[in-house]
Each structure stands twice: as structure tokens, then as C-alpha cells.
Amino acid sequence: MKTIKLLVVDDQELIRESLAFVLNTDNDIEVVGVAANGAEAVELCETLQPSLVLMDIQMPVLNGIDATRIIKQKWPGIKIMILTTFQEVEQVVEALSIGAEGYLLKAIHPRDLISGIKHIHKEGTLLSQELAKALVSQIQTTKEVNEKPSKPKYGLTEREEQILQNLAYGLSNKQIAEKLFLSEGTVKNYISSIYHKLDVKDRFQAALKAKEEDII
């Protein structure tokens, strides 16, 4: 009998099926199911009662953070390892604060992933070295920022700042919409509001002013 019943959750079919295949080869791990989004993960947790969930973050319908929150509220005994390509420290903090036991990057070698799954199953928590360093760096940066005089924000909302940051990175309206789970029309409306508040006429001017004024 395999001791670890695993549920793999990822919106990309190739990734979740590949992970399921590789992880099933281990003598201690049985992949009891796969899910394409957080909503499916919650449903499968109820029917399959896995001992551990390998959870992606950025997914349609219900993202990994919200799915983790629901699963931990309903079945606190199910352990969750967040597996993602994103290294955003805020998500590490949020995932761990709501009960996730581990957080690793998808670039990890399969044998290290298997080792991490077993460690969480037995010991409880796991945080990759890269992300631990990023967390410390973020705390230091936040402290430095808090000690500096605040810069003008031009009345931008938190969502407008998010969109402005992605705009400054060169993302198209469609890419921003997909990343933030918004419609392209909504993104266009936000960008129009940003232009008005910053008193600029195009994306280049907006990105330049955002950098010069330290808005993002």
C-alpha cells in the first residue's frame, strides 16, 4: 500500500499529466486524481480525501490561493504544497498564512519534488531556499520603504497600480486581462483611468512616469 495519496492541480494538461506520471512511479506516492482548477480540486478533496495536494496558483475559475483557503477550512488534515512558476513573495506569505505546508517552484528536479512531498507528509512544512531568501529580501525592502517619505500615488487604486505595473513590463491588454482574470474591456477602462490620473497620453508616457515617480 502506498502511504501518500496525492492530488495534482494545474490548469495546464501537459504539466499535470506529466507530474502525475512521474510521481506515480515512486513507491510511496499514489496520484489519486488530477484537477484543472481550484474548484475541481475542492470537489475532488471531498470525494477522494487525498493526504496531500500539489497546488498551482494561477488558474481559471478558482485560483490556488482561494482553493487552499477552502480546503484548509473544510479539511485541515489535508496538506498542501504550492507548486508554481511565480516567485511573488506576497503569494508565499498568503499561502503559508492560510495553512499551506510548502511552496516550491516548478523548475525543481523531479527527485527533489518527490523528496519535498515526502518531507511535507512526514515533517509538516517546506520552503525552498530561493523563496526563503526572497522572503527575507522582501521584508528588508518593505522596512526600507516604510522608513522613506511616501511618494505621490496620483489617486491610483490598488488594481490600477497592478495594471500599470504590468503595462510598464510591456504586457498587452490581452495579456494583462488573462493574468489578472479580467476582460479586455475592463482593462481598457482601467488604463483610460490611469492615463487621466497620471495626465499622460499613451503607454510609454505612463510607464515612464510610473518609473520616474516611483509609483510601482
The pLDDT value given to residue 70: 97
Same domain for 113 and 165: no
Could you report the per-residue pLDDT of 31-75, keeping only the tens digit for each? 999 999 999 999 999 999 999 999 999 899 999 999 999 999 999
How far CA 162 is from CA of 65, 105, 156, 214, in Å, comes to: 18, 23, 10, 14
The average pLDDT across 141-145 equals 63
Is the model's pLDDT at 97 over the cut of 90?
A: no
Residue 126 lies in a domain: yes
- Our count of domains for the chain comes to 2
Range of the domain at 162: 158-212
Residue 150 lies in a domain: no
The strand pair at 52-55 and 79-84 is best described as parallel
Residue with cell 498568503: 94
Same domain for 108 and 45: yes
Higher pLDDT, 137 or 107: 107
Contacts of 49 (CB under 8 A, 6+ apart): 5, 75, 78
Q: Where residue 90 sits, what CATH number does that domain have?
A: 3.40.50.2300
